[in-house]
Structure 1
Amino acid sequence: MYIILMYDILTDEKGSKVSRNTFKICKKYLTHIQKSVFEGNLTELDLMKLKSELDSYIRKDKDSLIIFKNRNERWLEKEFLGIEDDKTSNFF
């Protein structure tokens, strides 16, 4: 399944550690395309692993993480404003 994941981490005392660990975990499973945005194809099992690992760092009362799921990446269109980055070549 095709995933787009984005997160916002509160920049408080512990936020930099949470942000660093969240980034590392996301990078293990997905392609980093922009600051706190990742994309890629994952199996259901890998998505469960990703969410489980992230769950140990994301603070439910301070941080936000959104996962968009689609069965097929071909149904998405991409439009750039500004610099076009080839890391997002998964879109058609």
Structure 2
Amino acid sequence: MFVIITYDVAEKRVNKVCKKLKEYLTWTQNSVFEGEISKSLLMKCMYELEMIIDKQEDSIYLYEVENPKNIKKRVFGQEKNFDELFL
């Protein structure tokens, strides 16, 4: 399945959340990751993120796209892929 994950976490946890998401998805924009992932890996990823965040302060939004043919992505301005910047 194709997913988009966005997050808003306290500054002291941003790097941990970003690093964890890089293990599973592509970093496309600040606080935004996307990509293909299996349901089992997604469950593992979300569990690991729950161990990092503070549920009283932080937010993670998960958008699941079961049929990626139904999603159209348009980029206005410069398209960024942070993964490629740091190779």
Q: TM-score range by the shorter chain?
A: 0.7 to 0.9
The residue number in structure 2 matching 1:49 is: 44
1:78 lines up with 2:73 in the alignment: yes
Q: Which amino acid aligns with 1:69?
A: E
Cα deviation 1:27-76 (Å, max 9, x = unaligned) = 00000000110001111110110011000111111111000001121211
Deviation >6 Å, runs of 4+? none
The residue number in structure 1 matching 2:8 is: 8
**Residue 60 of structure 1 is aligned with which of 31, 43, 55?**
55
Q: Which amino acid aligns with 1:2?
A: F
Q: Which amino acid aligns with 2:26?
A: T
Percent identity between matched residues is 35
Aligned alpha-carbon RMSD (Å): 1.1
The number of aligned residues is 81
Structure 2 residues without counterparts, runs of 5 or longer? 82-87
Alpha-carbon separation, structure 2, partners of 1:26 and 1:47? 10
